[in-house]
Amino acid sequence: MKESKFMERITPRTFKGTRDLLPVDMIRREELFDYVRRVYRRYGFLPLETPAVEYLDVLLGKYGTEGEKLLYRLDYKGGHVLALRYDLTVPLARVVAQHADLPKPFKRYQMQPVWRADSPQLRQGRYREFYQCDADIVGEEDRIADAEILAVIAELVDGLGMGTFHVRVNHRKILEGMVAAAGLPADAGPAVLRAIDKIDKVGEKGIESELEREGVPTEARRVLLDLLQHPSGGAAEIESLRDRLPDQPAIAEGCADLLRIWSCLDALGSGLEPYQFRLGLARGLDYYTGAVYEAFTDALPHMGSLAGGGRYDGLIAIFSGQDVAAVGATVGMDRILTALDQLGLNPPRSSVTEVMVLQWGEGSEPAALAMTGRLRRAGISTEIGYRSGKLGKQIGGVSKRGIPLVLFQGPEEAERGEWSLKVLSSGEQHTVAERDVETVVRRQIEAIAAEGSAR
């Protein structure tokens, strides 16, 4: 390639915490999107998209002090101050307020990128630009809605095949009651919640140090840390916490809420094993008002949560002036893909093509084109080799691209009305009558897929 003498060369690079998604990455990503979309639709969720850019005042005041530091702010002509969206929940709240005629309950799913000026941690699948896959139910107070969100999270994570997992559940009212039980004023709640939310990262000593830095007295720290020792579990552990602090109405309210959700989950019939009541779960975002939850895989404790969410009944009122019940969850697509890679459960695929039809020999083009068209009309992903050439060289090129099957026809086979089908993974080669090509190719594709599933 001739070098231009009129332009200064620019070094090709990407911003830290972002990356190019090449075909080998996008194939797996799109398959995961398709899986998540199928599950969400089975629960009746409808698709939604919102702009990447929101007015800054739409986003401010929703994520807490630490969250707002991570907003990417944009200066725009005319004095407008904008920001890239931080999550998909606040834009949903704006949409519901702006389009008040949406029928309720409004069940929506949304799969789009978000941006946070965070420190990238690639081992945990944490980037500055990443995809979230949200499902929310707006306009329904009944805790059946909470149970549905928890059930869809559990089904999604279970279907990924990562082994044992848990969906940890807590309640903001219970956390408020813990603050009160420690003798602290309500305005100390945000700092306490931020500290508790870091328990898996810094441990109890780290939490105590942070609470001390926030000015929490020694006795209050002791009460909070003692409460955090409350056993995790299910309905029995929720009831025992309620009975342990009978003079805390917020805790009684939160426990009653969780017991109702547990009852709904039990009635849904998918089993209660994944769900774990855990006092150490807080979720740091300020807009949560009820149950909160996060999903973790036991196989990768360092990974952090794969999904999380909760009830946020007060958020939409900020935009509409009217209280609207809402509950939902987000699934971290990039973190899940990182987890699957680390567990060896998501082997890369460099092609979506199932069979390559090669030209071989003079005059082979018309037959190759006709067969390519036939296979595509039969629903088989098919490419055609654009030029004739040495067969071995062509097959080697196809193999490098990750295409599993090669179909070709030499002059003698053309006279007999036959084709040769080669399975590149095993080297097996079959002679197939022209009338049977679609059937045999489809059978080989199914066999290759079954072999991959067995591995």
Nearest-CA neighbor of 86 among 110, 125, 52, 126?
Answer: 52
pLDDT the model gives residue 3: 64
> Which of 84-93, 119-128, 444-453 holds the top average pLDDT?
84-93
User: What is the per-residue pLDDT for 455?
Assistant: 53
Binding residues for L-histidine: 87-89, 116, 132, 136, 283, 287-288
Query: Residues 215-270: pLDDT tens digits?
Result: 999 999 999 999 999 999 999 999 999 999 999 999 999 999 999 999 999 999 98
Domains of the chain with bracketed CATH: 23-342 (3.30.930.10), 355-450 (3.40.50.800)
Q: What value does the mean pLDDT take over residues 427-451?
A: 94
Global pTM value: 0.87
Confidence grade of residue 4 (pLDDT, cut at 50, 70, 90) = low
pLDDT attached to residue 164? 95
DSSP assignment, residue 420? E
Amino acid letter, residue 355: V
Residue 334 has pLDDT above 70, yes or no: yes
Q: Is the pLDDT score of 454 beyond 60? A: no
Q: What would the pLDDT profile of 49-63 be if each residue is shown by its tens digit?
A: 999 999 999 999 888
| CA–CA separation, 66 and 199 (whole Å) | 17
pLDDT mean across residues, the chain: 93
Burial zone of 307 (CB within 10 Å; 0-12 exposed, 13-18 middle, 19+ buried): buried
Higher pLDDT, 313 or 120: 313
In the prediction, which pLDDT does 201 show?
82
Q: pLDDT band at 302, cuts 50/70/90?
A: confident
Annotated binding site: 87-89, 116, 132, 136, 283, 287-288
For 128-180, the pLDDT digits (tens) are: 999 999 999 999 999 999 999 999 999 999 999 999 999 999 999 999 999 99
- DSSP H or E run through 298: none
Predicted pLDDT at 450:
82
- Return the higher-pLDDT residue of 77 and 19: 19
DSSP 105-172: SEEEEEEEEEE--PPPBGGGTB-SEEEEEEEEEES--STHHHHHHHHHHHHHHHHTT--SEEEEEEEH
